[in-house]
Amino acid sequence: MFFYFLFLFLGWDVRHLEHDVIYWDIVVVTTLDNVQKDAYDALIQQRSTINRIPLGVDYLVITDPGKIGNGGSTMHAMHVLEQKYGWEILRQKRILLIHAGGYSQRTPTTSCLGKIATSIPKGWPTYDLLDIKLALYSLFPGRMPHGGVFLCSSDTIELFDESHANTSWLLTDDFVAFAHPSSLTVGTQHGVFVLDPTDKRKCICVLQKPTIEQMKIHKAVWCHGEEEFVYTDSLFYFNMNVAQRLAEVYRQEHNIQCEIDCYGDFMSALGICPLPRPVTKENDDNQQRTRIKQKIYDTLLDCHLQVVILHKSSFNHTGTNDEYLDICCGIGKTGQEIFEELKLEKHVGCKVFDEGRHDTIDFWHGILPALPHGDTLHHQPSAPDVHGCVIHSFIHPKCRSSKRSLFEYCCIGVPMQIGDNTILSNITLVTYSDFNQTILHLPSNLIMQTVPLNNELFATFAFGFHDNMKATHNNLDKILYFGQPVSILAKKIHRTIDDLFDDENNRSLWTLKIFPVTKDPNESFEKTLKLIISDDFTVSEKQYVSIQEILKRRDISSAIQYRSNLINCT
């Protein structure tokens, strides 16, 4: 049996950890800003009160000093640890380092609380990525006899097969990197290990986002029958000797103004025959970046790297909406595998909406009976026709949802139909003002979420499932919102085009100010929805905000409180 299964099967109740289990001494989560830090601190606090995460572990949430990339963030974290504990004490500590900074622009419904708070449909209250990661990685501390740092990103789920429960390897080398087979195309976007064919634990060098041709020249391509693949990077371990060197580089360059990559920039110096040292280019527009890369290269050059190969397809990102829905709904080869291995559930803590009570409904405060555990909507009377995933929600009996959809933290009191590629998060809709259809059809390919703002206001954002949030455009015609040019949107909300953006040099869906700010969550949902499904001009609101502004003004304590109430009401 896999070690982590123990936790997942037992509901990851940490009381089972008390005896003879070696666990992390310190878990570090890095964040982008202090609002995100508050969210993570509150989340960790909440998880420990329900015995979801072990006590007796130092959980540290460390805010990055600016946008310095996961490599900069790693070096900074080592520096902070040194300040806090000193190397004498750190030397024997087993440290898990989770990089969780960033606004997750590819998955906006995870931006409000942060990536590690992403719901995973399992258990009561539902797991989030932090819980899953702590359970999955619980097999590693026991392999770190001399301590060290185990580094992972916040938006991946890795499964480890039986051979890795074997004690034949330890995390003691300077670096131990986990490699997993990927297609050549995936390889072009990652670090690719060139391994010694006679002993795959030995690494010649780590190519960085190589072309397919470069992979072939370096003999990094392997075959399984007809299928060609390469070994790409994901998790890695480094020992305290390396940690100390990284902290030293940080101290020398404490005012980092550029992004450093913990994969690309740390790995290039590693291997039996490493890649060449980064060169100083003429007219270098970022001299600091090159200097830091060189320093890292020089300091890590004599470090030893061992590679551990992970089982095929045992790794998946939750970093895009597609990947996330695949996992929650158990769709596609990898999605299904993860769904089954982690024993996920299609419906977690959800209940059919009781129409008779909608005037007095108080969603989370226990006026309705507690949400049933481990039950599916389909077993409940007048079950709605839902085929997708439903997490902690009340759903009207006449709702319909397609196989590839997700309701989380919703209270839907009207008949509603959602199609493929839809994520509705934290939507409250008990009545719909001009409801004249038998069912409210939402378009497919839709993500929507209601977010509490400061001063008891609300806004609901909505985007297309595949929208590129980051792409900036000088040509306004290029910005399409559900197929509508911004000029139409401006008319709809009685604004001029110039009103829709604060910065004319930074015009993207991320900065588009079209979401009404309202006093009621249901109202904000309805008004945002009308932007998409109604051709009429809406009544003008006092204020419209972009998702960028929603996140700036979000009321984190209210958002956290809301979820705590849910947990406490049962």
Ligand X SMILES: *[C@@H]1O[C@H](CO)[C@@H](O)[C@H](O)[C@H]1NC(C)=O
Binding site for ligand X (CB under 6 A): 112-113, 163, 166, 168, 315-317, 323, 326, 332-335, 426, 428, 430-431, 433-434, 436, 450-452, 505-506, 510-511, 520-523, 526, 548, 558-559, 562-563
The CB-of-550 to ligand X minimum distance in angstroms stands at: 10
The CB-of-434 to ligand X minimum distance in angstroms stands at: 5
Tokens describing residue 64? 């990055």
CA angle 436, 439, 445 (to 5 degrees): 120
Residue with smaller CB distance to ligand X, 74 or 528:
528
As a whole number of angstroms, the distance between CA 472 and CA 12 comes to 43
Residue with smaller CB distance to ligand X, 206 or 243:
206
As a whole number of angstroms, the distance between CA 563 and CA 129 comes to 15
436, 453 Cβ separation under 8 angstroms? no
Helix/strand/coil percent split, the chain, to 5: 35, 25, 45
The CB-of-249 to ligand X minimum distance in angstroms stands at: 25
The CB-of-167 to ligand X minimum distance in angstroms stands at: 6
- As a whole number of Å, the CA-based R_g of the chain is 25
The CB-of-231 to ligand X minimum distance in angstroms stands at: 13
The CB-of-18 to ligand X minimum distance in angstroms stands at: 28
The CB-of-319 to ligand X minimum distance in angstroms stands at: 9
As a whole number of angstroms, the distance between CA 111 and CA 126 comes to 18
Residue with smaller CB distance to ligand X, 389 or 451:
451
Residue with smaller CB distance to ligand X, 209 or 333:
333
Residue with smaller CB distance to ligand X, 245 or 396:
396
Give φ, ψ of 261 to 5 degrees: -100, 125
Residue with smaller CB distance to ligand X, 235 or 451:
451
CA angle 385, 386, 388 (to 5 degrees): 160
Residue entry with tokens 């060189």: 294
CA angle 121, 122, 123 (to 5 degrees): 140
89, 2 Cβ separation under 8 angstroms? no
Residue with smaller CB distance to ligand X, 248 or 355:
355
E strands in 57-196: 58-63, 94-99, 119-120, 127-128, 148-153, 156-158, 175-182, 191-196
The CB-of-90 to ligand X minimum distance in angstroms stands at: 30
Residues sharing a CB contact under 8 Å with residue 2, sequence separation 6 or more, in sequence order: 139, 160, 162, 165
The CB-of-183 to ligand X minimum distance in angstroms stands at: 8
Residue with smaller CB distance to ligand X, 306 or 316:
316
By CB neighbour count within 10 A (0-12 exposed, 13-18 middle, 19+ buried), where does 255 fall? exposed
Residue with smaller CB distance to ligand X, 26 or 486:
486
The CB-of-280 to ligand X minimum distance in angstroms stands at: 26
Residue with smaller CB distance to ligand X, 24 or 407:
407
Alpha helices, DSSP H only, in 342-431?
A: none
CA angle 347, 348, 354 (to 5 degrees): 80
